[in-house]
């Protein structure tokens, strides 16, 4: 499979404070945050006109799932659109709280840990071929995921046995298995629960839960794009790939996270020792040959070039990646603050920098301060993000879902949707089942839409 469907589910941290003091619990804040959502769809779990899904997850975490995308630019725009949608809810919640006499600010963080040590996720989804033998995933894809922290980590100051330390990844400390059907009890690198949201005889949905939430558009693009290329090589049985199986993937995940400069080697089951960078370089070299030898989507050669550039910069001097990689940008900010103000790594001011890097407020967030100064490399512009907040990708099944929701709302019709169903809740209970996520057009959908408009009996609102 060369053309690939992918998407990201992001859980956000939320709090409410006034003059530095936390005034409401996350559960209370989330209830205010989702009042508007409930008004939209009589539920805190809704699909949006851009094809994505917005809901309140366990632990009072707002969660946004992008629509199905088949291009990296669409994915990045959809991911950033999720921030935009939630910022609107934050503004609404602050007004509602003020009306109830609660002065203060709602903070929405796109990170993966809170002050109590809890972790919440950023899950990637990839449509893959219906394969039952997962050995190539264990031999190649898991080592790839373990070592891609070099460019995909969000960075965090953590409490280590020998004191505070800086780590590449926020999620590495919270993952306990390589492959499992569980998501919360054991938190595996790859979740194998078989929910394809598509034709189960043709597709499988690979659910990756090891990744960090990225503020950097470039890191999001590289994280998902390189994974898509590696999956294409794994599915292509003619592509020769080395067995990178790690003796202990979970230990390696943590080791890589603390090894900022990529000096330590990892034990492979074959008896070899390789650094994280060497594994990434070897895979990138094979990916270069792969995209040169066959017709691939335009995203593939572009992301492989970006992959090679990132690895070369990391080998030469990791700080060169500060415009593209979150952990490097954050490390640089913290390092400068420590040097300038004589701070300790475990000081409250460093912890505040660590947290505010992920603040999604465009004026207050430290990442967006860097972006305003031109210190980040972007993938899409603001206009593309605005469009993605209300319009689904035009080349996948999400186009039909988004259009159905828009028209149903326009004519004030009662409807139900999920990833595969579009249903009008009328006397006929008409339903269209969309089992192919790659198909953006379907005659049954067009008939349903026409019928909706003709039989509504109401003027559009």
Q: What are the residue numbers of the active site?
A: 57
| Strands of the 431-433 sheet, one edge to the other | 415-417, 421-424, 431-433
- Cβ distance 71 to 395 under 8 Å? yes
Query: What six digits make up the tokens of 116?
Result: 């109590």
- Cβ distance 346 to 163 under 8 Å? yes
User: Pairing between strand 177-180 and 188-191?
Assistant: parallel
- The answer to whether the Cα torsion of 104, 36, 207, 379 is positive or negative is negative
Beta-strand runs (E) in 104-143 = 105-109, 122-129
Residues 6 or more apart whose Cβ sits within 8 Å of residue 150: 168, 256, 262, 276, 277, 280, 310, 311, 314, 325
Locus of tokens 């190539």:
136
Q: Is 104 left (phi over 0), alpha (psi -120 to 50) or beta?
A: left
Name beta bridge partners: 207: 125, 191
> Cα–Cα distance between 277 and 388 in angstroms, integer?
35
> Cα–Cα distance between 365 and 125 in angstroms, integer?
27
Residues 6 or more apart whose Cβ sits within 8 Å of residue 282: 242, 244, 274
- Cβ distance 62 to 215 under 8 Å? no
> Cα–Cα distance between 298 and 29 in angstroms, integer?
43
Buried b (16+ CB within 10 A) or exposed e, 19-33: eeeebbebeebbbbb
> Cα–Cα distance between 53 and 41 in angstroms, integer?
12
> Cα–Cα distance between 190 and 177 in angstroms, integer?
8
């Amino acid at each position: 499979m060369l053309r690939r469907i992918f998407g990201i589910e992001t859980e956000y941290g939320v709090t409410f404070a006034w003059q530095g003091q936390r005034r409401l619990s996350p559960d209370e804040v989330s209830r205010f945050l989702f009042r508007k959502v409930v008004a939209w769809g009589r539920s805190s779990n809704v699909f949006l006109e851009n094809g994505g899904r917005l809901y309140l997850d366990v632990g009072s975490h707002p969660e946004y799932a992008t629509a199905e995308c088949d291009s990296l630019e669409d994915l990045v725009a959809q991911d950033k659109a999720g921030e935009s949608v939630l910022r609107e809810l934050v503004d609404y919640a602050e007004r509602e709280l003020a009306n109830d006499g609660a002065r203060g600010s709602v903070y929405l963080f796109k990170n993966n840990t809170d002050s109590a040590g809890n972790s919440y996720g950023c899950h990637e989804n990839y449509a893959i071929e219906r394969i039952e033998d997962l050995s190539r995933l264990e031999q190649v894809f898991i080592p790839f995921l373990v070592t891609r922290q070099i460019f995909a980590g969000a960075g965090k100051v953590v409490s280590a046995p020998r004191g505070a330390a800086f780590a590449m990844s926020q999620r590495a400390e919270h993952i306990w298995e390589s492959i499992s059907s569980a998501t919360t009890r054991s938190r595996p690198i790859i979740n194998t629960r078989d929910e394809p949201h598509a034709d189960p005889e043709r597709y499988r949905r690979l659910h990756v839960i090891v990744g960090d939430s990225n503020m950097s558009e470039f890191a999001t693009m590289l994280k998902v794009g390189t994974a898509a290329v590696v999956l294409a090589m794994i599915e292509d049985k003619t592509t020769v790939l080395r067995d990178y199986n790690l003796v202990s993937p979970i230990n390696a995940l943590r080791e890589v996270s603390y090894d900022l400069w990529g000096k330590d080697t990892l034990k492979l089951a074959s008896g070899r020792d390789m650094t994280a960078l060497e594994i990434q370089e070897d895979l990138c070299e094979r990916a270069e040959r792969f995209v040169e030898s066959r017709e691939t989507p335009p995203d593939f050669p572009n992301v492989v070039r970006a992959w090679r550039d990132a690895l070369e910069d990391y080998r030469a001097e990791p700080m060169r990646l500060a415009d593209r990689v979150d952990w490097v940008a954050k490390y640089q900010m913290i390092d400068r603050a420590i040097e300038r103000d004589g701070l300790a790594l475990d000081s409250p001011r460093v912890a505040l920098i660590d947290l505010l890097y992920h603040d999604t407020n465009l004026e207050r967030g430290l990442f967006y301060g860097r972006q305003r100064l031109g210190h980040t490399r972007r993938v899409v512009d603001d206009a593309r993000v605005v469009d993605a907040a209300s319009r689904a990708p035009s080349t996948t099944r999400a186009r039909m879902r988004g259009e159905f929701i828009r028209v149903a709302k326009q004519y004030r019709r009662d409807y139900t949707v999920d990833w595969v169903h579009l249903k009008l809740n009328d006397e006929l209970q008409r339903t269209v089942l969309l089992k192919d996520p790659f198909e953006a057009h379907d005659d049954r959908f067009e008939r349903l839409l026409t019928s909706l408009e003709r039989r509504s009996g109401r003027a559009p609102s």
